[in-house]
Structure 1
């Protein structure tokens, strides 16, 4: 199983020690380093800034929100990053949810799967640079229909370093996971659990079986962000993760549409997820954190003494996950890598 490093998105400012952590990840032989965006820091700028000091590690966006940029703009960014990194760029894309798409970006959210399919097709055409880009879809038209009439099919002025940049899709629901297997080179799950492996394996197999699927299962990368905390006390380790889980289950989505909450419900924690969500939305955040059982943390994380982590890692190695994305500072990455090696 490969290792990657996930910087995530910023909270109130740049994460301290990020440059050192990225350098450490490359030194330790990690396969990839990833950035993210929500409604604060963007994914591309930190990746270029800190990635400029690297020479080997692949640079991925985990992930770019599609509502933030037109597909041609993302194609331009992908070409640019690929040239600057010497062919090390990995494009991770995601839909996000209606709260962010409509509330922050002011874009429509309806029919996200169909929109994703069109978006990725346009990005691929921009990067391939085989002909001027035209597209007549339900969501995107190039040139624009009903405008001035002066729109002209264009081809990128930049010649591609690679005509086919790998694209990963962030997805949580089964239909979106199947779409990732059909049209992408990788899938970025959130809150993956070995207990849910059968559910996701079936969704991936459905996508792989579709006509024209891009990858065979053995060539497809599943890069899961998995909290790993080496600590002699399991409860104290779990306490470091519970606030983040409460935020996602309770506050990262509307009451009626929260895809993160749904992940834990499918995992068998529906009652817990509903309680956490109710408490969080009522502003009782500490109670929401306290309502998360340690078993839920252990289902989606690797925590505890080294021997416990090594023993539980065997379960992860039997799943569809092919890359573990780790978090933490440089010292934490060294400590975790020593345990996982």
Structure 2
């Protein structure tokens, strides 16, 4: 059985940059942890903190978890990947995600349609840029390189280009964040890894079945299913009692189930619904959207928290970690205060 790797998910910033991250990552590296991952929503970006914090380490893998595809073109994303892979000595992992309609349409001003098809095109172009085998051309539904003369506003002077930077590696690993069943299967079909949302060990068989669907139609031999990486962010809160620890996680769940997405299209809520919590999440969403955020957090049961997080005294947290061992998960990304993460490692 593959040993479960432990990484750190720093997430995205709230009001300001979090303190103590460099020290935490240096301690994590000394303790043998695997990786550090950053995120973005509509504030801090995923690449800049990774470059800054990663420059203070020498071994940790550096992953975007995740970079939103709507935030930048495929070629710009590939430029980020080429640059960070060189600067880190080959430690970079490109985590990508489609986000949701609230952010894509509200923040980036782009239509949120056919996200799976757009993801497929995006990944194909990124891989072609990084491979640097020829000038990049692409004729897709969402992306066209170069833009043709018939495109409104185009000069027709564009020509196929090839990255000036030679890649450090012919391929940079690509991880797709996915929550819906079709998205999970797509990750197994076209990517090198899958970043799950709200991964519960008791749903492991269903998740493995979705991955197998993607592996069955995988068209290339880039990586074998046994080499495929499965990651999930797991909140870790060490406190003297379970309830006080769960209280730290409840607002996080309420935010994602209640407010991180439109009422009609909340992929985070849908993930929790598939675990059998639809009645709970319906109430959480109702309270959250009514502006009653504290009541929404209180409506999250401890049972739900313990399914998707590690909470309680240090000994319990370390014992509960075994529930994720033996699942499809290969890398657990701990998210919490430095003391809690340190306690998880014993």
Q: TM-score normalised to the size of structure 1?
A: 0.97
Are the aligned partners of 1:229 and 1:336 in contact in 2 as well (CA < 8 Å)? no
Structure 2 Cα separation of the partners of residues 334 and 284 of structure 1: 34
Question: Per-residue CA shift, 1:20-78, capped at 9, x if unaligned?
Answer: 11212211111110111000000011000111111111110001000000000000110
Question: 1:157 maps to which residue?
Answer: 164
Question: 1:184 maps to which residue?
Answer: 191
- The answer as to 2:253 corresponding to 1:245 is yes
Question: 1:281 maps to which residue?
Answer: 289
Give the secondary structure class of the aligned counterpart of 2:324: helix
Question: 1:12 maps to which residue?
Answer: 15
Superposition misfits of 4+ residues, deviation over 4 angstroms: none
Greater CA deviation, 321-330 or 64-73?
Answer: 321-330
Question: 1:143 maps to which residue?
Answer: 146
Are the aligned partners of 1:21 and 1:329 in contact in 2 as well (CA < 8 Å)? no
Q: What displacement does 1:128 show?
A: 0.7
Q: 1:133 aligns with which of 129, 136, 155?
A: 136
Question: 2:110 maps to which residue?
Answer: 107
Are the aligned partners of 2:188 and 2:215 in contact in 1 as well (CA < 8 Å)? yes
Q: What displacement does 1:109 show?
A: 1.0
Structure 2 Cα separation of the partners of residues 38 and 216 of structure 1: 32
Question: 1:232 maps to which residue?
Answer: 240
Structure 2 Cα separation of the partners of residues 329 and 229 of structure 1: 7
Are the aligned partners of 2:314 and 2:343 in contact in 1 as well (CA < 8 Å)? no
- Note the 1:40-189 alignment, pairs <5 A: 40-145=43-148, 146=151, 147-189=154-196
Question: Paired residues, what number?
Answer: 338
Give the secondary structure class of the aligned counterpart of 1:262: helix
Greater CA deviation, 312-321 or 37-46?
Answer: 312-321
Are the aligned partners of 1:181 and 1:215 in contact in 2 as well (CA < 8 Å)? no
Greater CA deviation, 262-271 or 297-306?
Answer: 297-306
Are the aligned partners of 1:2 and 1:323 in contact in 2 as well (CA < 8 Å)? yes
- Note the 1:260-299 alignment, pairs <5 A: 260-299=268-307
Structure 1 Cα separation of the partners of residues 167 and 315 of structure 2: 47
Structure 2 Cα separation of the partners of residues 310 and 157 of structure 1: 48
Structure 2 Cα separation of the partners of residues 33 and 322 of structure 1: 15
Are the aligned partners of 2:190 and 2:218 in contact in 1 as well (CA < 8 Å)? no
Are the aligned partners of 1:36 and 1:42 in contact in 2 as well (CA < 8 Å)? yes
Question: 1:316 maps to which residue?
Answer: 324
Give the secondary structure class of the aligned counterpart of 1:87: coil
Question: Per-residue CA shift, 1:199-249, capped at 9, x if unaligned?
Answer: 211110101111415432210111110112222311111001001110000
Gaps of 5+ in 2: none
Are the aligned partners of 1:231 and 1:305 in contact in 2 as well (CA < 8 Å)? yes
Give the 3 Å change call, closer, same or farther, for CA 224–239 of structure 1 in structure 2. Answer: same
Structure 1 Cα separation of the partners of residues 198 and 21 of structure 2: 23
Gaps of 5+ in 1: none
Give the secondary structure class of the aligned counterpart of 1:248: helix
Q: What displacement does 1:304 show?
A: 1.8
Q: What displacement does 1:315 show?
A: 2.2
Question: 1:193 maps to which residue?
Answer: 200
Q: TM-score normalised to the size of structure 2?
A: 0.95
Structure 1 Cα separation of the partners of residues 81 and 260 of structure 2: 28
Question: 1:216 maps to which residue?
Answer: 224
Question: 2:308 maps to which residue?
Answer: 300
